[in-house]
A and B are shown apart, each in its own frame.
Chain A
Amino acid sequence: MSEKLALLHPEMVLFAATCVVMVLGLARSAVWRSACAWLTGGALAAAFVLALRSPVTDGLFPHFLAYTKAMIAGVALLILPVMSGTVDRWYERRVAKGAAFDALRVTRGEFYAFFLLSVTGVMLCATADDLIWLFLALELTSLPTYIMVAISTPRVRAQEAGVKYFFLGALAAATFLYGFAMLFGATGSTSLDAITIQFRGEGLSTIATLGLVMALVGVSFKIAAAPMHFYTADVYQGAASPVSAFLAFMPKAAGLIVLIQLLATVGWSWGEAGDALPDAIRVALWVIATLTMTIGNTLALLQSSAKRLLAYSSIAHSGYMLVGLIAGPGGTVARNGLAAAMFYLLCYGVMNLGAFAVLASLEVRGRDGEPAEADAIDDLRGLFRVRPGLAWAMTLCALSLLGLPPLLGFWGKLVLFTSAIGAGEIGLVVVMGLNSAVAAFYYLRLVRASMLDERDPDAERPIVTEALGRRLAAGLSAAGVVGVVVFASTLQSASHAAATPNPRYDEFLKVEAPARQSPPAATPTARHN
């Protein structure tokens, strides 16, 4: 029992911290209130260490937890400094000037608590071995983010983003829930291992295919893949940049992990060569990936808002990661598409955060005279003259997103390419290559605006926020884009180990199988084929 519990140690720490932070945010003393962020950071650091010590499981991917959870906690630690001052900044300033403190009015504690809850949800997605668990973990990931979006700024835009995110999210949740119900119906179990046994033994029935496709498409909402991508740009633009940075990584990580878990139930042992997904699923993913990459990149070309641009680029990157999922676990580092996708997720988390952190560090004077978040690409113009450090951070992160060697994004994309080539998915490789080329057009616009363009003399200069954490995060991400490259190979080996199937999984299933409840009549749906 207790060794089972060890699987959940990081989540337990995060949840305990959540409870404390939620109360701490209501404290009368400003010092206690400001301890929220530090406590959150401490909990994440502890979770990171505990994640590294995650036990090896008997499941399909025995080493999955350590890499995945450490990545989640690590990127969350990087996102945390950007979050500082997102909510309550003006309110705290008024309190500091002597206004009465109103515990009903503050949202800081909740904000950090929701942050932690969502991260916990993502980690639970990785630990989950059951459909119920997966469903709960996914909802735990998303529900807090709806609120985070809506309260991130007092502007109407944030509420609009919150509405769209919440309602479309609920629609997607209903979709994958229905898919889960069908999967249960087709196999008679909610345990992923039991479902795997069923699929291996009996193949995919119609109901199972229907359920799987609905579940996959529903979960695609979390990674902002077509056709569930519509919300992305509006939500990322409407939410405050720190929250957008969070949305671009955490739900995406959860979605990717769940997709891997779901696809693992059917496995990559079908097709002619015996190393691909079942044809129907493969084609569905193929369509999704191609659409996602193309829609994301072509729409990003047209944007004048940097946040929308990054949102569409985030859609495109999800498409790249899906290519890895189609390629499957392969045998070597170069061939392992799952590892490539997991590694790319890490790279994407770092470089995308950097770009958002630069935006979060800048303010412009809005039409109403109040400082507003920088949003338009034009707001970046002349940044090099004002803040060369931020301009460099934006440049490095944009070039890395573009996949320029020797930056981090290049190494991430490289393994995706090699794994897809290894899996014989030449068509996808061509699509991905063309898309990467198209992407150059808009990423270079970010670089040009921040490094080369001069600011119009009559335009307002961007103001740098006093939130030091955001600049820190921008700097750290930029340093990571350059510095993590040194450890790229080590991290790739780690992600490969995480996504290497257990050679003794079949034996494990044989032990598990008798424990499973058998249906009253054997395999009713399989006969349908």
Chain B
Amino acid sequence: MSDPTTMLLAASAGAPDSSVAWLLQVPLLPLLACLLCGLFRAWGVTSKLPGYTTVLLLAVAFVVTLSGYLSFGGHGAQVVHGFDWLRVSWGDGPGETLSAGFSLYIDSLTWLWMLFVTGLATLIALYSTEYMAEDQKTGGYARYFSFFSLFVFMMSCLVMSDNLLLLYLGWEGVGLCSYLLIGYHYTKPSAVAAAKKAFIVNRVGDLGLALGLMLTFVHFGTLEYREIFARLAEIQAVVEAGGSAPWQVELIPLLLMVGAFGKSAQLPLYVWLPDAMEGPTPVSALIHAATMVTAGVYLVARFLPMFALSPAALGTVAWVGAGTALLAATIGMAQYDIKRVMAYSTVSQLGYMFLGLGVLTATGAAYHVFTHAFFKATLFLACGAVMHGFAGQLDLRRLSGLAKVPGWRVTAVAMLVGCLCLAGFVGTSGFFSKDMILAEAFVTPGPGYRLLGWIGLATAGLTAYYAFRVYFRVFHGPVEFHAGEEHHGDDGHDDHGHGFHPHAPGWAINLVLIALVIGSLAAAAPYFIDKEHHGWVGGLVHSSTAGEIVRASAGHGEAAAHAGEAAAAEHGGFFGDPHRWMFLASSVVGAIGILLAWVIHMTGRVSADRAPIADALKARLRPWSTLAEKKWLVDELYDALIRRPLRLLAHILALIDQALVDGLVDGVGFAPRLFGKSLRPSQNGLLQNYAVGMGGGLVFILLVVWALS
């Protein structure tokens, strides 16, 4: 790289130096889509051009990802160097140069994430072309797709980066896109408030990530994965030989974990995600259910080798995950807004994933991310179809029996399949992925991990209940519906439902729903491929950086699971194998949940908002039912404990700033001004004076030089 010509040419053409360079298209195509849509917005395009452009470019990105996976999937880690992005050095020694390239680190974990990110993004963009059609005239359509593509670009940076700094850029970038898209309806105060809440709560987590990143650089002297993992392997060897890891290595995972908890909506930072449902539903499906919120899971999975060296971090991840899963499920049971139910179920399912990571089954967590991406996207898009068709109506007390309304069959089926997967019904994809996590929780030795298994199992039952509560209330029972508040187009009626004609989903929405239903069901298939590693996903995880540590850490996780299998084989007992045991237990729990939902919400239903048993139960369970409905007052608690004291502090600091700092700044500004004023006469505009100044200056400098030599 010494020849500046080639370097400049390389920079201008963006052409890196290796044969895998074409993989750079994966992040760059969405970026192109973003720029094009921005231009369309500037040009005032009101057709569906921005939407179709985005779909096309994202589809190409997906195809590139897929062909990349097929060509390099089994080749181990690839590093694709794009260009030097940052290189700041303050010395020549090691650790004195901070460098971060726009370079991709591609191993099987990356492939897994990128496949479903680009795939789902393409489908959801297609869905959006119809869903967002009402905003074509206002120009919001192009803006929406511009942000949407930007999100995919940022997400690719996050997942494909080969260093922590580019990951951080992607991390902040997806946060920004999330903020922009939650606040998409920026004239609506609740949307703006939700956007701000999401951004601010995420800042808390991002602070942790930033600190972790800095500590990583201070300790390792680099931010590049390859070098970090090489150093970690050395430390791992030391630990195995009986030594102990440096305190930094135990602390960094705790800091990274805080970042992960923010982005992936875990206790105590989960509060932003339910409010984020103010954004358009496709956004909720893609960003706030399928992809962005799994970034935290990705981060922990990527740095699992480091987490494995920090028992404190692992324990915290597991406990927080289980706690979040249970808490969110209890809140989800009591909500009436179906999108909010789905939001809490996302929080809850993310809790499962962290539980999986905490008990070191990266395979289970990654597989659950994969299946969850499909079925949760299905659920959200089905909710979105309902919302779109019924003018924004999301209250399950005001919708009923939609399965019998003509034109809604596909949506009903999609909802059913989504709920079955979410409930972990036998044979569905959710069933296999959830059980993988729960089984590991039961067999992994750790502080009270067995209890975690029971919590997870109980949550599975609650999940089945609340999922089917939504399904039975909205799609079964007597046919009844009321329009929501978003009147638009030709249906200018009152919202009592008389004469209101819901418009059934069109081809784009139905097509995407069908594709996702197939995807959700087919996501079970990978479990049966590559049996050796617990499925296709397991195979991917095993050949990634996470897999190395999983294999290496004896006495943990899957090793223990294998031990359990061995024990089962020895004793010939069915219950010896945690997975088989788990299959049985969770089938029963799931079925009970679904049955309860049926009994409580279907017996004696007379209208949309009246289900006698449910109402009676609710009255009986007071005040707990009310508290759950009010989300255990967590928002109020945060308001009293954090927001108000902070506001007070801000007011005090503002006073100090005005009184002290401003005065100081003015004072500091005074001296240079005085100096400038004394110089000002030299600039009096006279040619001769300037010449005198120049000549005098020359003589002065010559005198200085003469005095020195």
Q: Which residues of A contact B (CB under 8 A)?
A: 52-54, 56, 63, 66-67, 70, 163-164, 167-168, 171-172, 175, 206, 209-210, 213-214, 217, 221, 226-228, 230-231, 233-234, 279-281, 283-284, 287-288, 294-295, 297-302, 331-335, 414, 418, 421-422, 437-438, 441, 486-494, 497-498
Total A-B contacts with CB atoms under 8 angstroms apart: 158
Of the candidates A283, A331, A414, the one whose C-beta lies within 8 Å of that of B708 is A283
Interface string of B4-17 (1 = CB under 8 A from A): 11011111000000
Q: In the assembled complex, which residues on chain A have CB atoms less than 8 Å from the CB atom of B8?
A: 52, 66-67, 70, 490, 494
Q: Which residues of B contact A (CB under 8 A)?
A: 1-5, 7-11, 83-92, 97, 99, 101-102, 668-669, 672-673, 675-677, 679-680, 682-683, 685, 687, 689-691, 693-698, 700-702, 704-705, 708-709
Contact (Cβ within 8 A) A230 B693: yes
Within the complex, the shortest CB–CB distance from B198 to chain A, in Å, comes to 23
Q: In the assembled complex, which residues on chain A have CB atoms less than 8 Å from the CB atom of B668?
A: 437
Contact (Cβ within 8 A) B83 A283: no
Q: In the assembled complex, which residues on chain B have CB atoms less than 8 Å from the CB atom of A295?
A: 679
Contact (Cβ within 8 A) B86 A227: no
Sample 22 A-B pairs with CB under 8 A, ordered by A number: A63-B3, A63-B5, A66-B8, A67-B4, A164-B687, A168-B687, A206-B709, A217-B698, A221-B694, A230-B682, A230-B693, A280-B709, A281-B705, A284-B704, A301-B672, A418-B88, A422-B90, A489-B99, A490-B84, A493-B7, A497-B2, A497-B3
Max chain B Cβ within 10 angstroms of own Cβ: one of A168, A171, A227, A283: A227
Q: In the assembled complex, which residues on chain B have CB atoms less than 8 Å from the CB atom of A284?
A: 701, 704-705
Contact (Cβ within 8 A) B1 A66: no
Q: In the assembled complex, which residues on chain A have CB atoms less than 8 Å from the CB atom of B697?
A: 217, 226-228
Within the complex, the shortest CB–CB distance from A255 to chain B, in Å, comes to 15
Contact (Cβ within 8 A) B11 A333: no
The closest CB in chain B to the CB of A438 belongs to B672
Q: In the assembled complex, which residues on chain A have CB atoms less than 8 Å from the CB atom of B693?
A: 227, 230
Of the candidates A231, A335, A489, the one whose C-beta lies within 8 Å of that of B87 is A489
Q: In the assembled complex, which residues on chain A have CB atoms less than 8 Å from the CB atom of B86?
A: 488-489
Contact (Cβ within 8 A) A334 B89: yes
Contact (Cβ within 8 A) B709 A279: yes
Q: For the complex, would chain A's binding face be called helix, strand, loop or mixed by DSSP majority?
A: helix
Within the complex, the shortest CB–CB distance from B101 to chain A, in Å, comes to 8
Contact (Cβ within 8 A) A335 B679: no
| List of 9 A-B pairs having minimum Cβ-Cβ separation, nearest first | A227-B697, A298-B676, A334-B89, A489-B84, A230-B690, A489-B87, A497-B4, A490-B11, A494-B4
Contact (Cβ within 8 A) A175 B97: no
Contact (Cβ within 8 A) B704 A283: yes
Q: In the assembled complex, which residues on chain B have CB atoms less than 8 Å from the CB atom of A228?
A: 694, 697
The closest CB in chain B to the CB of A300 belongs to B676
CA distance A175 to B699 in the complex (A): 12
Q: In the assembled complex, which residues on chain A have CB atoms less than 8 Å from the CB atom of B87?
A: 333, 489, 492-493
Contact (Cβ within 8 A) A66 B5: yes
The closest CB in chain B to the CB of A210 belongs to B702
Within the complex, the shortest CB–CB distance from A309 to chain B, in Å, comes to 12
Q: In the assembled complex, which residues on chain A have CB atoms less than 8 Å from the CB atom of B101?
A: 489
Q: In the assembled complex, which residues on chain A have CB atoms less than 8 Å from the CB atom of B669?
A: 301, 438, 441
Of the candidates A66, A234, A300, A437, the one whose C-beta lies within 8 Å of that of B685 is A234
Contact (Cβ within 8 A) A164 B690: yes
Within the complex, the shortest CB–CB distance from B609 to chain A, in Å, comes to 49
Contact (Cβ within 8 A) B709 A53: no
Contact (Cβ within 8 A) A53 B5: yes
Contact (Cβ within 8 A) B91 A422: yes
Contact (Cβ within 8 A) A213 B83: no
Q: In the assembled complex, which residues on chain B have CB atoms less than 8 Å from the CB atom of A70?
A: 8
Within the complex, the shortest CB–CB distance from A119 to chain B, in Å, comes to 19
Contact (Cβ within 8 A) B694 A209: no
Contact (Cβ within 8 A) B11 A298: no
Contact (Cβ within 8 A) A334 B90: yes
Instruction: Knowing A298-B673, A302-B676, A302-B677 are in contact, say whether A287-B704 is a contact too (CB < 8 A).
Output: yes
CA distance A339 to B3 in the complex (A): 15
Q: In the assembled complex, which residues on chain B have CB atoms less than 8 Å from the CB atom of A175?
A: 694, 698
Q: A280-B708, A299-B676, A422-B90 are in contact. List 10 more A-B contacts (CB 8 A).
A: A171-B691, A209-B709, A227-B700, A279-B709, A287-B704, A295-B679, A299-B683, A302-B680, A488-B86, A489-B87
CA distance A302 to B680 in the complex (A): 9
Within the complex, the shortest CB–CB distance from A268 to chain B, in Å, comes to 17
Q: In the assembled complex, which residues on chain B have CB atoms less than 8 Å from the CB atom of A300?
A: 676
CA distance A297 to B676 in the complex (A): 8
CA distance A284 to B97 in the complex (A): 32
Contact (Cβ within 8 A) B696 A227: yes
